[in-house]
């Protein structure tokens, strides 16, 4: 059962990470589409201005320098006319350059969109495959559980009683929370959801997977986290085990596939795995602890 839960944990966090990547790609596509629309609009405007200028030259011709020199009545008048000619020439050159630059910009956005859309299709296919894999694993786990449930009912009761005593102990003597810690408020919030069922891919308010739980409780104090334990490990400062404070995130597994909120006194609160509920456990009970961070 532990092996099943380990595989499911890895698969679930892989699925969550793919969802996170897909959402980022979708946002990048939207931004690039907006940039492409703006560049196309600018190009249309520049072309219209340039076309009007070309039509004007064709219809009225350009004034040459000799003509200007012969028709000026004073030196000051000559300087003014030459300045006008210079400005017209410079404006034409800038328009031609702007059109060329916008064309290159549009081609760049179009290529980037092609790459991003291909990436989106690949991620969507990965999500579909990951979801199917997780659902198959859950069915296998359920089938195994149905075969051995009579043998482990007693053990489950013992475990439920142990956790209930731990929760009551915490509530009775007060949680050992570092009240001066930056994110200690998140512990009180997390404690409200003790007993809520684990459900893969869920992020509250009544069911959770591990990273969905940490994302949900941290959102309550105004800190946004991605729905992925691996991605959450990169949010905030890394914390050594001997510097842990209440509210820090603690991570498990190689590759990382589980996360919880450090409570204090060597304990943490988390959404463990399929068939379990949000619970408090000790860090010493986990052999696959890999590190912590402070968002």
Structural domains present in the chain: 2-140 (1.10.287), 176-294 (3.90.1720.10)
Burial class of 17 by CB neighbour count within 10 A (0 to 12, 13 to 18, 19+): buried
Per-residue pLDDT of the chain in tens (295 residues, 90 and over written 9):
667 777 777 777 777 777 787 788 788 778 777 877 777 777 777 666 666 655 555 554 555 555 545 555 665 554 555 454 455 555 555 656 666 777 777 777 777 778 877 877 777 777 777 777 777 777 887 887 787 777 777 777 776 676 667 666 665 555 566 666 778 889 989 988 988 888 888 998 989 999 999 999 999 999 999 999 989 998 889 999 999 999 999 999 988 989 999 998 889 999 988 778 898 888 988 889 999 999 9
Predicted local confidence at residue 129, as pLDDT: 77
SS3 (DSSP) at 261: strand
Q: Distance from first CA to last CA of the chain, Å, rounded?
A: 32
| Backbone torsion region of residue 281, taken as left when φ is above 0, otherwise alpha when ψ lies between -120 and 50, otherwise beta | beta
Instruction: Using a cut of 0.75, tell me whether the model's pTM lies above it.
Output: no
Give backbone dihedrals phi and psi of 251, rounded to 5 degrees, phi first: -125, 150
User: Residue for token digits 């959102």?
Assistant: 219
What angle is formed at CA 202 by the lines to CA 200 and CA 208, rounded to 5 degrees?
Answer: 85
pLDDT at 161: 74
Q: What is the pLDDT of residue 252?
A: 95
Residue at token pair 């409780």? 217
Instruction: Output the pLDDT for position 78.
Output: 46
Radius of gyration of the chain, Cα coordinates, nearest whole angstrom:
32
The Cα–Cα gap between 2 and 154 comes to 17
Structure confidence at residue 69 (pLDDT): 52
Which pLDDT does position 210 carry in this prediction?
93
């Amino acid at each position: 059962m532990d092996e099943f839960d380990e595989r499911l944990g890895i698969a679930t966090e892989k699925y969550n990470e793919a969802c996170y990547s897909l959402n980022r790609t979708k946002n990048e596509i939207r931004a690039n589409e907006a940039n492409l629309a703006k560049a196309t609009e600018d190009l249309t405007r520049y072309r219209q201005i340039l076309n009007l200028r070309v039509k004007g030259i064709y219809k009225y011709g350009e004034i040459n320098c000799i003509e200007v020199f012969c028709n000026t009545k004073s030196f000051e008048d000559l300087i003014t006319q030459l300045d006008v000619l210079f400005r017209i020439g410079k404006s034409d050159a800038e328009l031609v350059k702007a059109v060329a630059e916008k064309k290159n910009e549009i081609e760049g956005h179009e290529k980037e969109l092609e790459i991003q859309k291909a990436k989106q299709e690949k991620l969507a296919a990965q999500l579909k495959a990951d979801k199917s894999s997780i659902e198959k694993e859950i069915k296998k786990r359920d089938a195994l559980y149905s075969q051995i449930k009579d043998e482990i009912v007693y053990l489950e009761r013992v475990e439920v009683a142990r956790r209930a005593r731990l929760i009551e102990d915490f509530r009775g003597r007060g949680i050992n929370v570092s009240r001066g810690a930056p994110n200690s408020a998140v512990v009180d919030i997390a404690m409200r959801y003790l007993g809520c069922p684990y459900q893969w891919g869920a992020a509250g308010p009544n069911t959770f997977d591990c990273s969905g739980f940490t994302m949900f409780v941290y959102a309550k104090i105004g800190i946004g986290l991605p729905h992925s334990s691996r991605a959450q490990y990169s949010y905030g400062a890394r914390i050594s085990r001997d510097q842990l404070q209440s509210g820090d995130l603690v991570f498990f597994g190689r590759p990382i596939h589980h996360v919880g909120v450090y409570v204090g006194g060597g304990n943490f609160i988390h959404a463990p795995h399929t068939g379990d509920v949000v619970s408090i456990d000790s860090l010493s009970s986990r052999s696959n602890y890999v590190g912590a961070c402070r968002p």
